[in-house]
Amino acid sequence: MKHIILSLLLAALGCLTASADYLTVCGETVDIATNITSAGIAANRLKRGTITYYPATNVLEFDNVATNDRPDAYAGVISASLDGLTIRFKGTNDFVGNDYFISSFASFKIVGDSYSASVVNFTRGDTKYGQPSVYTVSNDRAVNLDIENVTLNITDNIKDYGIIGNTGSNWYAAKLSVKSSRMRLTELEDCKNSVINGFTTATFTSCSPANGDISYNTSKQALCYSDGDVVTDFELTPAYVAVNTIPITSANSAEGAVTAGVSYDADSKTLTLNNVNRSSGLMVRTNIDGLRIRLVGDNKIKHSYSSNSSFVVAEEGCRVVIDGENSGTLTIEHGAQGSYPMFNMYPNSTVEIRDVPAINITCGHVVMHGNINNGYTAGLIINHSAGKFTTTSVRFSNVVEEIAELRLVNAEIVTGSNASNKPYSSGGKVMEFRATDGSKFDVNSDGRVDVGDVNAVLAAILAGETSSKYNVNGDAGVDVGDVNAILEAILAQ
């Protein structure tokens, strides 16, 4: 019903028919056959920045733009019917209006350089008509919306239609896709519909709701809580990995912009430390589940009290794997009293140390513990690795504490202890551990050598994965020979 009502409303506004391609910006009609700049926008509507349209690529670009609030002077900031239009934002862009931010009768994209470098702020004050801040109209065709590499901060006061929505006779076929973006969408508490609604599906890639209880309900075509109530206040968090507080990407790591010896491959979620030698600390912080910190060569890091203190900070629900591939090593020295633990864990997060022949950490604090708000739910796995944890603290008596479990997979503690009374695992002042035989066949790190490991290697072969952990027979590649080696290990048990 809401889609019929809104369609009728749009018809009354004289904008239901999109028979000819058009583009308007801040109330001005854009000649879509000609390059235009903000010279075509009335000066009293533009506070700062540059607006440019490129007809050859169908791109409308906003570069650090701010518009004046012009109540009733124009319907919205952007209105279009150009199929495949890309609206690109650079820098920080601020918009205030009494009507919609963007409307379109054809599929379009909202993109930026990155969520941290491309920010859009839109606030709607009094409203004249009842459409969402960003909306599509799927009348004669499904109109899809893609959002990528941008931050959208939208505050609205519409009580009926939400913030990002789709309507029209084909509303049930349109899709919303959001990738690597941040959102803060705030609506009136008594809004009847969710902040996102009207799409047949809404997918979030490389970003996730900050509240894990929120997801897109396809049967309701709305963003909802698990109990079915619609969401009127929504935050979407992009997946990230930061080195010394700098968000790292495949591009900037390759340019050496972060630190020497560090590189990142986003597709495989792998951060590589290649013979890193730092005396000013190195902290890796992430909310990416399954992030792999790959060690190549000998990596040596010294922390001081004033440097980036923890080595790994894992956000809620993340599993971080430190993978030495049976050759890479890691040495960390951090003797400052009262410094942060080397592994600083948030609720339900896990650090796994896998196939590291030598990992030695000295810390003035406990070496690892869960974040103080974790409810003792974090875990540490030592898998086929050898090394030593040492604490010089006079305040803390244990190398490892305040976690749910210290689990050994094909490894054993030589000095120290693994207390059985959870959630407390202790190694005293020193905990030395070493690898035991058999771990190379436990590919999925579940503590068993069985069909699960066979399946893991088969999946790796299909994916073209070449990591040494799948190359269990030590030959030139990952292939059926590794599958046979695991099968032989299973039969030998």
Residue 276 has pLDDT above 80, yes or no: yes
pLDDT tens across 163-185, in order? 999 988 876 789 999 998 999 99
Task: Name every residue whose Cβ is closer than 8 Å to that of residue 255 and which is 6 or more positions away in sequence.
Answer: none
Q: Which residues pair with 406 in a beta bridge?
A: 380
Angle between helices 480-491 and 451-463 (to 10 degrees): 180
Residue 434 has pLDDT above 70, yes or no: yes
Question: What is this structure's pTM?
Answer: 0.64
Task: Name every residue whose Cβ is closer than 8 Å to that of residue 468 and which is 6 or more positions away in sequence.
Answer: 325, 326, 327, 355
Question: Between these two residues, 37 and 50, which has the higher pLDDT value?
Answer: 50
Q: Which helix (H) or strand (E) holds 405?
A: strand 405-409
pLDDT tens across 248-269, in order? 877 777 656 667 889 998 888 9
The Cα–Cα gap between 447 and 383 comes to 9
The Cα–Cα gap between 273 and 356 comes to 13
Q: Residue 111: which of 122, 119, 103 has the closest Cα? A: 119
Residue 19 has pLDDT above 60, yes or no: no
Please give the backbone phi and psi of residue 474, each rounded to the nearest 5 degrees, phi first: 70, 20
Which band of pLDDT confidence, cut at 50, 70 and 90, is reported for residue 16? Answer: very low
Number of helices (H), then strands (E), in the chain: 4, 41
Which of these ranges, 102-106, 218-222, 345-349, has the smallest mean pLDDT? 345-349
Q: Mean of the per-residue pLDDT values for the chain?
A: 83
What pLDDT sits at residue 458?
Answer: 93
Share of the chain above pLDDT 90, in %: 35
Which of these ranges, 40-44, 181-185, 299-303, has the smallest mean pLDDT? 40-44
| Residue 139, CB-side half-sphere exposure with 13 Å CA sphere | 16
Which band of pLDDT confidence, cut at 50, 70 and 90, is reported for residue 4? Answer: very low
Q: Which residues pair with 224 in a beta bridge?
A: 215, 230
Task: Name every residue whose Cβ is closer than 8 Å to that of residue 329 and which is 6 or more positions away in sequence.
Answer: 295, 297, 298, 299, 356, 357, 358, 359
What pLDDT sits at residue 9?
Answer: 40
Q: Residue 61: which of 109, 28, 21 has the closest Cα? A: 109
The Cα–Cα gap between 124 and 133 comes to 8
**Quick one: tokens of 215?**
């997801």
Please give the backbone phi and psi of residue 463, each rounded to the nearest 5 degrees, phi first: -85, -5
What pLDDT sits at residue 42?
Answer: 63
